[in-house]
Amino acid sequence: MEPSWRARAGLAVRERLPLWLRLRCGLERRSVIALGLVLIVAAVFAAQHFWTGRTQPVRAPDVLGEAAGPGSGPGPSPSPGTPPAPDGGLPQGAPGDATGAGSGTGAAADVVVDVRGKVRRPGVQRLPGGSRVADALREAGGVRPGTKADGLNRARLLIDGEQIVVGGPVPPEQGSASAAPPGSGPGPAAGGTAAGPTGSAGAAAGPVGLNTATADQLDTLPGVGPVLAQHIIDYRTEHGGFRSVDELREVNGIGEKRFADLQNLVRP
């Protein structure tokens, strides 16, 4: 069987080509098949690369929702609070009881004080526990202009039932109470014992004359310091003397309790 004209033409062309070009162009069928397979694999790899590298939408809300879902899980985190369970038996009840006790203590810790003297609204004031003298003065409307309040320690903690006198010396029960905060009772007791010897000495020496006593003599009375002694002398000068012991109540810095301590130790 003779080759076809195409085969004859191909052989004729190959015979006229240089040797090096004949070697390059003379590919066998197996070489062509192998080259085709390589091209197919390369095409598949390129298609996969472009497919996986395409942009994809990000569903942020779903991710946040999933992140928030476990967030509810921290609910069990209070489980570390279960150690108090042996005390109360209920892990969450124990904190509840502690809160209840705290609120009860806060209600019981309110203090009631009597603010007197040169303030805008003198009278009884109720303040939360832990309040200070400055808070009581603020509740009373503040100190009147021109009033000297040097004898007051505005940073001192208030004690239930005490009296604050503005424009005069601090009552002795306040000083003793501030020295021993836990015992509002021991404060007056200590003041009583201190006043006892002084009172007996005053009784032995006789009542002090309000119209004739000097500042030093008035200073010897229980609960009367240099400032209060000067207030007594100023009142005596302004009003022409004391006509009765009861007028001692009108002196700035003398309340009912202090008057009760002094009324048997003085005379007009």
Phi, psi torsion values for 202, nearest 5 degrees: -65, -40
Examine the fold and report which residue of 152, 167, 182 is the final residue of a domain before the chain moves on.
167
Residue 253 lies in a domain: yes
Q: Give the span between the Cα atoms of 218 and 175, in whole angstroms.
A: 19
Residue 123 covered by a domain: yes
Q: How many CB atoms lie within 10 A of CB 225?
A: 17
CATH of the domain at 113: 3.10.20.600
Average pLDDT over residues 71-76: 50
Name the β-bridge partners of 115. Answer: 123, 164
pLDDT digits (tens, 9 = 90+) for 115-134: 888 888 988 999 999 899 99
Lowest mean pLDDT among 156-160, 184-188, 227-231, 261-265: 184-188
Residue 162, domain member (yes or no):
yes
Residue 54 belongs to a domain: no
CB-based contacts of 160: which residues, under 8 Å, 6+ apart?
Answer: 110, 111, 112, 113, 184
Let me know if residue 235 belongs to a domain.
yes
Here the CATH number for the domain that contains residue 241 is 1.10.150.320
The residues with which 166 forms a beta bridge, in sequence order, are 117
How many whole angstroms from its chain centre is CA 197? 46
**Count of domains forming the chain:** 2
The answer as to whether 196 is a domain residue is: no
> Position of tokens 């309340």?
255
Q: Is residue 95 part of a domain?
A: no
Say if 239 falls within a structural domain. yes
Does residue 9 have a pLDDT over 80? Answer: no
pTM: 0.29
Domain enclosing residue 217, as ranges? 204-267
Q: Which residues of 144-162 are buried (b: 16+ CB within 10 A; e: fewer)?
A: eeeeebeebeeebebbeeb
DSSP assignments along 150-178, one per residue: TT--TTSBP-TT-EEEETSPPPHHHHHHH
